[in-house]
Amino acid sequence: MVKKPGKDTGIFGEWLDDQMNTVYKNLGYSVFYDHGDRVKNPNVVAIKGIFGDTVSNVNRLADIDVLVVNKEGEVVLLIEIEERGMSPKKLIGDIFTILMCNRIAIKIAKKQEYFAVSSKTKLIIAGVVPPGAKRKIETVIKPQLKKFHRSGETLQSNNVKIVYANTIMETLDNLKNEMMTLFQL
């Protein structure tokens, strides 16, 4: 049986949305996620990372799996999840395409909504990593990412976290633990 792409990502998005809407509703966060039933849940949307003022195919840089915004409409957290083996090249591509975005666009009820990223926005890249890639992530990618600096009110590389494991289920468990820590759930 072939598993539907993004199924586990959708399950994670639903879990996070449920946590924020029930247990932690006082925090005032809204969760949007890709990969789910758009008819049953209006928070299942395409999340587009762009550079510019309005979304178009020319300035769309990234498709992102999970978006968390606060009640002021600020982007608090972006999450990209790779369910299949994530090579170091794919990991770097995910990080830097999202780092280049200045806004996030989603369409709700046929209306584009825009959210600005800032120096407070956090980015988590999560995925399944083959055993050989772990060393490269720890010894090359993470140290180099710390050296990469951007000025201004934009997503900062020191706000990027890489969460990975050998399987998607382990990765998502680690990601849930990360959410508990980040939001002090």
Q: Is 2 part of any domain?
A: no
Q: What is the pLDDT of residue 9?
A: 93
Q: Is 74 part of any domain?
A: yes
Q: What is the pLDDT of residue 151?
A: 77
Q: Is 61 part of any domain?
A: yes
**Virtual torsion, Cα 34, 9, 173, 70, nearest 10 deg:** 0
- CA neighbours closer than 13 Å in the CB half-sphere of residue 101: 30
Q: Is 72 part of any domain?
A: yes
Q: What is the pLDDT of residue 13?
A: 94
Backbone dihedral angles phi then psi of residue 77, each to the nearest 5 degrees:
-150, 140
Q: What is the pLDDT of residue 40?
A: 84
- How many separate domains does the chain show? 1
Q: What is the pLDDT of residue 1?
A: 44
Q: Which residues of the chain have pLDDT under 70?
A: 1-5, 185
Domain CATH for 78: 3.40.1350
Q: What is the pLDDT of residues 152-176, one digit of tens each?
A: 778 888 999 999 999 999 999 999 9
Q: Is 1 part of any domain?
A: no
- Stated pTM of the model: 0.92
Q: What is the pLDDT of residue 124?
A: 97
Q: What is the pLDDT of residue 69?
A: 95
* CA neighbor of 134 nearest in space, from 92, 100, 164: 164
Q: What is the pLDDT of residues 17-45, one digit of tens each?
A: 999 888 777 778 999 999 888 878 889 99
Name the β-bridge partners of 78: 67, 123
Which domain covers residue 129, as residue numbers?
A: 7-182
Q: Is 170 part of any domain?
A: yes
Q: Is 146 part of any domain?
A: yes
